[in-house]
Amino acid sequence: MPPNLFIEDRPAERRAFARRTLILFVIMAGLVVGLLARMLHLQVWQYEKYRTRSDENRIEVVPVPPARGLIFDRLGNRLVENRPVFSLTLALERVDDLDQLLADLSALIPISTEDLEQFEQRRRSHRRRPEPLVLKATLDEEEIAVLAVNRHRLIGAQIEAQIARHYPYGDLTAHAIGSVRRITAEDMKTLGRVRYRRTNFIGKRGVEKFYERSLHGEVGNKWVETDAYGRHRQVLDFHPPTAGQNISLHLDIRVQIAAAAALGERRGAVVAFDPKSGGILALVSNPSYDPNLFVTGMDPAHYQALTSSRDAPLLNRAVNGLYAPGSTIKPILGLAALTHGVVDWQEEIVDRGAFRLPGQKRIYRDWNWTPTNPGGQGIVNLHRAIYRSSNIFFYNMGVRLQGERMAAFFRQFGYGEVTAVDVAGTSPGVVPDAVWKQGTKGEPWYPGDNVNLSIGQGDLLVSPLQVATAAAVLANRGRRVRPRMLLTSGRPLVEDDPPLPLPPVSGPSADDWERMVDAMEAVVHRGDYGYGQNGTAWYYIGRGIAYRMAGKSGTAQVVEIKQGQKYEESEHDEYSRKHAWFMAFAPADDPEIVVSVLVENGGGGSSVAAPVVRDVMDAYLLPQVAAL
């Protein structure tokens, strides 16, 4: 081997090493410069951007639901309040096995299928939000104790204190005030998600529904520092919620209690209000329900019983129940006939208890007809026809007046339309005419329709609220008012402005109004003077009354009675018997209260419904007497 191959070239090696060292230095220097430049970019030029991102990862904004506004009656009695309740919530970011946790919880306390379904709905709609989700809205003391003992093995489950609605008068005010119900996924499609975050209930009926926006208030927020697992460490900032507005109603709980007590266990409704302002003093529908059960929860069997009962306790009969008004329509029909010159106060007929249309065989009977006695009221004018409730007199008037004129006049009294300001869910009822009948039933208008309409039968359907509204028009001698619940609130409400005042009833003269009121007074008071034939209600409520009341009874058939047959209550099942009506106002000369009462399948208006009216008026006009 040649010897020159083993000779070292040290200068060449040093030059190679130096080159490699320089290249490595340049690379390292470039990396350091790049790192410094990136740090400068992030820490100086992009500081605000990345600080915000950092805060979003570290700080959670938690909504704080507002306390719902309270509701009071006209005397300051609290009708609706808020109470603390304890709920079971799950912090999903801390739960490793949700199915196992739900199974463990279900083994410890009752959790309904409905609770699980609603929890799943909330979980799907809050998938990206770390806030705890409600599993069970209300826990009793025993359930709280069981969960507290087992909390070491229920990681992610926690008990939270919340404010829930409470109705101290229970079923007594359920239909007057309404109630809240749990928010559903369907509700969230129309609600503001931000405004209703962490809110479990929303007004679904009555005042609670109509004034929802004001009662709910405005949500607050707290800024909470969280750890890497989403757990709350400390509150950094807090903006408190704005509580909902407190409101006062015209409702008088004393009158409400008296109305419910007078109606008793019978199905029906009572409506009372001030004819001057339209303020509703009492609104009772029976049977009723306890609205607290929709807050605290009820078992499926109980809910099924409420929804399937033939007595329909969830139906607000006062505003949604529709019935033929019977003879309560007669004062209005009489004024219509006077307006159109069909009758005057002097005209008389002989009421022999039967009426027949020209060319027809069918006989229309008076209310006191029997197979052995034709009944009848003898010589009758309009005044006597009111206090004795002569069907025959009004059959004659109805045929001459015709259906179109009757229908148009009835609408001026609030029939066939919604006139209430803030009574949620009111029904307009039905005022039939030829156009309505052809469009609804595909049939023409017959002369017999005029006969039926003249005594408040046939297709005419009204609610107890509408009958009270019509009574207020009579009490005010033609001035119309809109029934309303709201009396005052702490600050302007956010709901829409109320509708404009209603125009007065056109047609009757001032003398006609006064004489009609006199005739309605005779319904109650004729009998004080020893006359042979008293007013239809004198025997039942007129004796010993301390004020002057004007009223009108009504009895509405539920099933048709064949020609030549007398109505026998004992031959009909409970739900086929006649409805009993009475409407009235007092004091007659300067009315302070109007009342309408319907007793479903109750029988005679004067004997059954009139005493309820008397008790309600005594409670309002003579509270010291009613309390004895």
The torsion region of residue 74 among left (phi > 0), alpha (psi -120 to 50) and beta comes to alpha
> Does the pLDDT value for residue 326 go beyond 80?
yes
At 3, the pLDDT band (50, 70, 90 cuts) reads low
Q: Which domain holds residue 152?
A: 61-249
Question: Which tokens is 606 given?
Answer: 């004067």
How many angstroms separate the CA atoms of 432 and 504, rounded?
Answer: 22
Helix or strand or coil: residue 72?
strand
> Does the pLDDT value for residue 61 go beyond 90?
no
CA distance readout (Å), 297 to 117, 158, 182, 223, 303: 14, 19, 10, 32, 10
Q: Average pLDDT of the chain?
A: 86
| Residue 208 or 195, more confident | 208
* pLDDT score at 57: 57
* pLDDT score at 49: 58
pTM: 0.82
Crossing angle (nearest 10°) for helices 464-475 and 330-339: 50
pLDDT-wise least confident of 64-78, 126-140, 166-180: 126-140
- Residue 134 maps to which CATH number? 3.90.1310.10
Q: Average of pLDDT values for 478-483?
A: 96
* pLDDT score at 93: 72
> Does the pLDDT value for residue 6 go beyond 60?
no
Annotation marks residue 327 as catalytic: yes
Q: Which residue in 179, 248, 327, 596 is the catalytic one?
A: 327
* pLDDT score at 531: 46
* pLDDT score at 50: 59
* pLDDT score at 416: 96
Instruction: Report residue 554 CA to chain centroid gap.
Output: 27
Question: Could you tell me if 243 and 317 lie in one domain?
Answer: no
Q: Which of 205, 223, 249 is the last residue of a domain?
A: 249
Q: Average of pLDDT values for 416-422?
A: 93
Highest mean pLDDT (candidates 21-35, 113-127, 273-287): 273-287
Question: Could you tell me if 195 and 276 lie in one domain?
Answer: no
pLDDT-wise least confident of 330-339, 428-437, 509-518, 567-576: 567-576
Give CA angle at 234 (230, 239), nearest 5°: 105
* pLDDT score at 211: 92
| Residue 336 or 235, more confident | 336
Question: Could you tell me if 451 and 515 lie in one domain?
Answer: yes
Dihedrals φ, ψ of 315, to 5°?
-80, 125
| Residue 286 or 571, more confident | 286
Q: Which of 198, 216, 249 is the last residue of a domain?
A: 249
* pLDDT score at 231: 57
CA distance readout (Å), 484 to 137, 191, 243, 413: 33, 26, 24, 16
pLDDT-wise least confident of 74-78, 246-250, 373-377, 522-526: 373-377
Q: Look at residue 346 and tell me if it is in a domain.
A: yes
Q: Look at residue 12 and tell me if it is in a domain.
A: no
Dihedrals φ, ψ of 550, to 5°?
-110, 130
| Total count of domains within the chain | 2
Question: Could you tell me if 115 and 222 lie in one domain?
Answer: yes
Crossing angle (nearest 10°) for helices 391-401 and 447-454: 130
> Does the pLDDT value for residue 105 go beyond 70?
yes
Question: Which tokens is 378 given?
Answer: 């003898």
- The residue written with tokens 């008026």 in the block is 617
Question: Which tokens is 578 given?
Answer: 């006649």
* pLDDT score at 155: 83
- Residue 300 maps to which CATH number? 3.40.710.10
Spell out the residues 6+ positions from residue 381 whose beta carbon is closer than 8 angstroms to its own.
345, 346, 347, 348
How many angstroms separate the CA atoms of 449 and 71, rounded?
Answer: 46
Over the stretch 455-471, which tens digit does the pLDDT of each residue have? 999 999 999 999 999 99
* pLDDT score at 51: 60
Question: Could you tell me if 207 and 287 lie in one domain?
Answer: no
Question: Could you tell me if 104 and 183 lie in one domain?
Answer: yes
Question: Could you tell me if 188 and 320 lie in one domain?
Answer: no
Over the stretch 516-548, which tens digit does the pLDDT of each residue have? 999 999 999 988 554 446 888 998 999 889 999
pLDDT-wise least confident of 173-182, 265-274, 592-601: 173-182
Q: Are 170 and 117 contacting, i.e. CB atoms less than 8 angstroms apart?
A: no
Question: Which tokens is 247 given?
Answer: 């409101």
Q: Look at residue 460 and tell me if it is in a domain.
A: yes
Q: Are 249 and 73 contacting, i.e. CB atoms less than 8 angstroms apart?
A: yes
Question: Could you tell me if 276 and 368 lie in one domain?
Answer: yes
* pLDDT score at 628: 45
Q: What's the 3-state SS for 138-183?
A: CCCHHHHHHHHHCHHHCCCEEEEEEEEEECCCHHHCHHHHCCEEEC
Q: Look at residue 267 and tell me if it is in a domain.
A: yes
| Residue 443 or 365, more confident | 443
Over the stretch 560-580, which tens digit does the pLDDT of each residue have? 555 445 545 555 566 778 999
